[in-house]
């Protein structure tokens, strides 16, 4: 089920917005070409992560695998858009895990 219209928002949510996890697809640059990201966003608390990270996986039938873990409370529409912009603007993305920042003590 689509929870967002790709043409209006730039992404297709495959699970409902507002939770600690989100499965979505969106297009963006990667290694000099445009790819379809098959993305899984998760809050740091839900994921049990000590820091924010982006993990670039293999190309699959639904797009290139992408996991994004952020120190946020939930993935509402503004948070999702900010995360997508971050991925699209991160010029040094390469396959593998990229950690950045530390999780706040109150998260």
- Identify whether 66 is part of a domain: yes
- Identify whether 51 is part of a domain: yes
- Identify whether 86 is part of a domain: yes
Please tell me the number of Cα atoms within 13 Å of 88 on its side-chain side.
14
Please give the model's pTM, rounded to 2 decimal places: 0.84
- Identify whether 102 is part of a domain: no
Structural domain count, the chain: 1
- Identify whether 41 is part of a domain: yes
Return the number of other C-beta atoms located less than 10 Å from residue 9's C-beta: 16
Q: What mean pLDDT comes out for the span 71-79?
A: 95
Helix and strand totals (H; E) in the chain? 3, 6
* Averaged pLDDT of the chain: 87
User: 37 is in which domain, residue-wise?
Assistant: 6-97
- List C-alpha distances in Å: 10 to 44, 84, 90, 105: 24, 9, 17, 33
- Identify whether 106 is part of a domain: no
- Identify whether 82 is part of a domain: yes
Beta strand 96-100 pairing with 52-60: antiparallel
Q: pLDDT for 5-48, tens place per residue? A: 444 458 999 999 999 999 999 999 999 999 999 999 999 998 77
Distance CA 56, CA 100 (A): 14
- Identify whether 67 is part of a domain: yes
Q: What mean pLDDT comes out for the span 80-104?
A: 86
């Amino acid at each position: 089920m689509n929870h967002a219209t790709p043409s209006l928002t730039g992404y297709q949510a495959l699970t409902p917005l507002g939770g600690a996890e989100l499965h979505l697809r969106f297009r963006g640059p990667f290694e000099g070409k445009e790819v379809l990201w098959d993305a899984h966003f998760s809050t740091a608390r839900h994921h049990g992560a000590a820091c924010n990270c982006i993990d670039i996986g293999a190309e699959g039938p639904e797009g290139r695998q992408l996991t994004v873990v952020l120190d946020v409370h939930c993935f509402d529409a503004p948070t999702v858009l900010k995360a997508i912009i971050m991925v699209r603007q991160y010029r040094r993305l390469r396959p593998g895990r990229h950690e950045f920042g530390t999780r706040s003590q109150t998260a």
